[in-house]
A and B are shown apart, each in its own frame.
Chain A
Amino acid sequence: QVQLQESGPGLVKSSETLSLTCTVSGGSISNYYWSWIRQPPGKGLEWIGYIYYSGTTIYNPSLKSRVTISVDTSRNQFSLNLNSVTAADTAVYYCARKDVSGSFFDYWGQGTLVTVSS
């Protein structure tokens, strides 16, 4: 059974960079796309972007100028960097696996709350 687990600071200062890592266990990171999705408090889900194990990335245009997603196949991990954060970036951040047949998400991490403080 594939499992995903997010890790990283729960508190980030405004204007700094949010960095999270997702560790994949129970399966290989190879041959799949891996995604970041977030949910601000009281709001809906927002797709941030995803990365193929080979390094190809697709980002949400609304965040593209501030987002970098990277992958480390040797550690079965992928990471999110979001720079110049503001209070609007406060959210629960989920990592997820994109299904092979379509861009829906079949495995999710538990999510981690990141709060941006001033």
Chain B
Amino acid sequence: DIVMTQSPDSLAVSLGERATINCKSSQSVLYSSNNKNCLAWYQHKPGQPPKLLIYWASTRESGVPDRFSGSGSGTEFTLTISSLQAEDVAVYYCQQYYGSPFSFGQGTKLEIK
């Protein structure tokens, strides 16, 4: 099974500043057939379902603000929020879909400093 590990577990960033969340997989999630990384990012707010932000490691879901971006390849990935807004307070999860069982990171709690 592929284990996903996020860092840090929690993060406090000032409004307007950059937030960076890291995700590492226990093995490469680069799919050779299409040369894409099978890595997604979700935003999860209390009382709401998770919301898909990014897939294929760097493709933004329709409607997601462009301050959210994803990068990385192989085993190391990053979610960046370029200018933190108050509504971005949430827990963020990465998920690998390279192989079953599909697995999530433990989550990173993002707060306002």
A binds B: yes
- B48's nearest neighbour on chain A, judged by CB, is A110
Interface size class of B (residues with CB under 8 A): 20 to 34
Instruction: Tell me the bound Cα distance from A102 to B96 in angstroms.
Output: 10
Smallest CB separation, B99 vs chain A (Å): 9
Residues 23-76 of B contacting A (Cβ, < 8 Å): 38, 40, 42, 48-52, 55-56, 61
User: Among the interface residues B40, B102, B107, which one has the most CB atoms of the partner chain A within 10 A?
Assistant: B102
A45–B61 CB distance below 8 A: no
Instruction: Tell me the bound Cα distance from A77 to B107 in angstroms.
Output: 30
Instruction: Tell me the bound Cα distance from A61 to B2 in angstroms.
Output: 13
Instruction: Tell me the bound Cα distance from A102 to B36 in angstroms.
Output: 11
Known contacts A62-B101, A102-B56, A104-B40, A44 near B93 by CB under 8 Å: yes
The majority secondary structure among interface residues of chain A is: loop
B61: A residues at CB distance < 8 A: 106
Smallest CB separation, A113 vs chain B (Å): 11
The majority secondary structure among interface residues of chain B is: loop
Instruction: Tell me the bound Cα distance from A77 to B67 in angstroms.
Output: 36
Q: CB-CB contacts of B70-107 with A at 8 A, as 1s and 0s?
A: 00000000000000000000000101010011111111
Interface size class of A (residues with CB under 8 A): 20 to 34
Taking Cβ atoms with an 8 Å cutoff, the residues of B that contact A are 38, 40, 42, 48-52, 55-56, 61, 93, 95, 97, 100-107
A44-B106, A47-B103, A99-B55 known; 6 new pairs, CB 8 Å cut-off, are A47-B104, A60-B101, A61-B101, A96-B49, A104-B95, A111-B49
Can you report 19 A-B residue pairs in the complex whose CB atoms are below 8 A from each other? A44-B107, A47-B101, A58-B100, A62-B101, A94-B50, A102-B38, A102-B55, A102-B97, A103-B97, A103-B102, A104-B97, A105-B42, A105-B50, A105-B52, A105-B95, A106-B52, A108-B49, A108-B51, A111-B49
